C-alpha cells in the first residue's frame, strides 16, 4: 500500500523535470531493481540495521513501479533491506512496524538505461561500490540510451562518447589491477588502454604509478612496441621527450710523436 506524503514546493525553473512525489510504501512490496548499479556489497551492515530499528529510514529511496504491483529499488536498496529486517523483528521487540519513504518514478518505466545511469550516479560516490560495478554500469547504461540521453549522461559522468566501449574493454582487467588503476588516478580511457596491453609483463606496474601524460606514453608504447616501453625494468625512469643526448666513447689511437694515446670521439645521437 502506498500513501502520499506532502513535499515542500520547489522553486520554478530549478529542475527540468517535475520532482517525483514522496509516498510511504510497505517495505514488503519493494524489491531490488534489475537495473540497480550496485551488484557487490549490497547487504546492509549492523550499524545501518540498528539505526533503522530505532528511527526508521530518514532518506527516501527511489523506486519505479513493476507490472506485478511491486516496486523496483534503484537507489537505496540497502536502506530498504534494513527496514525489512527491522520490521521482521519489530513485534517481538515491541517496536513499531514502519513503512518507508520513497520517490516513485513512473517516468522510468521502460527506460532501463537511464535508470541504471541514475543508480550509478547515486552509488558511485558512496562507500563500497567496486570499480567493476562502476564499469559494468557505465557500459550497460550508455548502450541502452537514446543519443540525446547518452550525450547528457556522458557529460554528467565526465567521459567520452566512446565510454561504453572503453568500459567494456576495461572489465577484462582483474579486480586488483582495477583497484590499482583507480588509486593511481587513471581515467576510463587510460584504464581501457591498460586492458589492451595487460598481457605485456609489468604493464600495470608501470602505468598505475605514473602521471597521466607518462601513462599515456607508456600504454601507447606497449601497444606499438616502441622503445619508450620499459616493462622489463619498471623502476627505471622514462626518458624525457625530444632528442636523445649525445654519447661519447674512448678509442685508442697512435701518432708519430707521442705513441698510443686516448682520445675522445663524439658519436651522433640516434
Q: Is 50 exceeded by the pLDDT of residue 11?
A: no
DSSP 187: -
Q: Using an 8 Å Cβ cutoff, are 102 and 62 in contact?
A: yes
> Per-residue pLDDT tens for 145-160?
788 888 888 887 788 8
- Range with top average pLDDT, 13-17, 51-55, 192-196: 51-55
- Rounded to 5 degrees, φ, ψ at 39 are -115, -15
Residue scoring higher pLDDT (204 or 149) = 149
**Burial label, 138 (beta-carbon count in 10 A; 0-12, 13-18, 19+):** buried
Task: Look at residue 236 in the predicted model and tell me its pLDDT.
Answer: 53
- Mean model confidence pLDDT for the chain: 76
Grid cell 514488503 in the structure block, residue: 28
Residue 189: pLDDT band (50, 70, 90) is confident
CA-CA distance, 118 to 74, in Å (whole number)?
Answer: 8
Strands 61-65 and 100-104: parallel
Cell for 94?
A: 515491541
Q: Is 50 exceeded by the pLDDT of residue 13?
A: no
- Range with top average pLDDT, 10-14, 45-49, 131-135, 179-183: 45-49
In angstroms, what CA-CA distances link 228 with 37, 177, 223? 39, 22, 11
The CATH code that applies to domain 2-8+15-111 is 3.90.1530
Mean local confidence (pLDDT), 40-51: 88
CA-CA distance, 186 to 194, in Å (whole number)?
Answer: 9
Chain centroid, CA 183 distance in Å: 12
Chain centroid, CA 105 distance in Å: 24
In angstroms, what CA-CA distances link 140 with 35, 62, 96, 164? 9, 20, 40, 7
> Per-residue pLDDT tens for 249-263?
555 444 455 555 555
Helices assigned H by DSSP within the chain:
46-55, 77-88, 90-93, 112-124, 131-143, 147-157, 163-170, 175-183, 188-196, 203-207, 212-224
Q: Is 70 exceeded by the pLDDT of residue 48?
A: yes
> Per-residue pLDDT tens for 57-79?
999 999 999 999 999 999 999 99
> Per-residue pLDDT tens for 101-128?
999 999 999 999 999 999 988 776 665 6
Residue scoring higher pLDDT (145 or 270) = 145
Task: Look at residue 31 in the predicted model and tell me its pLDDT.
Answer: 97
Q: Where in the chain is the domain with CATH 3.90.1530?
A: 2-8+15-111
CA-CA distance, 231 to 235, in Å (whole number)?
Answer: 9
Task: Look at residue 223 in the predicted model and tell me its pLDDT.
Answer: 46
CA-CA distance, 152 to 256, in Å (whole number)?
Answer: 82
Amino acid at each position: 500500500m502506498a500513501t502520499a506524503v506532502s513535499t515542500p514546493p520547489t522553486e520554478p525553473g530549478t529542475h527540468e523535470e517535475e520532482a517525483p512525489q514522496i509516498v510511504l510504501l510497505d517495505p514488503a512490496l519493494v524489491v531490488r531493481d534489475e537495473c540497480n548499479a550496485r551488484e557487490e556489497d549490497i547487504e546492509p551492515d549492523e550499524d545501518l540495521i540498528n539505526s533503522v530499528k530505532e528511527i526508521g529510514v530518514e532518506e527516501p529511496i527511489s523506486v519505479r513501479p513493476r507490472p506485478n504491483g511491486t516496486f523496483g529499488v534503484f537507489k537505496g536498496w540497502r536502506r530498504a533491506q534494513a527496514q525489512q529486517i527491522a520490521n521482521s523483528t519489530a513485534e517481538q521487540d515491541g517496536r513499531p512496524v514502519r513503512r518507508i519513504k520513497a520517490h516513485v518514478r513512473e517516468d522510468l518505466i521502460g527506460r532501463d538505461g537511464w535508470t541504471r545511469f541514475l543508480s550509478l550516479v547515486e552509488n558511485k560516490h558512496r562507500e563500497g561500490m567496486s570499480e567493476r560495478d562502476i564499469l559494468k554500469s557505465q557500459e550497460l547504461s550508455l548502450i541502452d540510451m537514446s543519443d540525446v540521453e547518452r550525450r547528457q549522461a556522458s557529460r554528467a559522468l565526465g567521459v567520452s562518447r566512446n565510454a561504453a566501449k572503453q568500459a567494456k574493454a576495461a572489465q577484462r582487467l582483474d579486480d586488483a589491477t582495477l583497484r590499482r588503476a583507480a588509486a593511481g588516478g587513471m581515467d576510463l580511457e587510460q584504464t581501457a588502454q591498460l586492458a589492451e596491453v595487460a598481457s605485456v609483463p609489468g604493464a600495470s606496474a608501470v602505468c598505475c604509478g605514473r602521471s597521466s601524460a607518462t601513462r599515456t606514453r607508456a600504454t601507447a608504447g606497449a601497444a606499438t612496441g616502441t622503445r619508450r616501453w620499459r616493462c622489463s625494468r619498471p623502476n627505471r625512469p622514462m626518458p624525457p621527450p625530444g632528442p636523445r643526448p649525445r654519447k661519447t666513447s674512448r678509442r685508442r689511437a697512435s701518432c708519430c710523436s707521442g705513441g698510443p694515446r686516448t682520445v675522445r670521439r663524439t658519436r651522433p645521437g640516434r
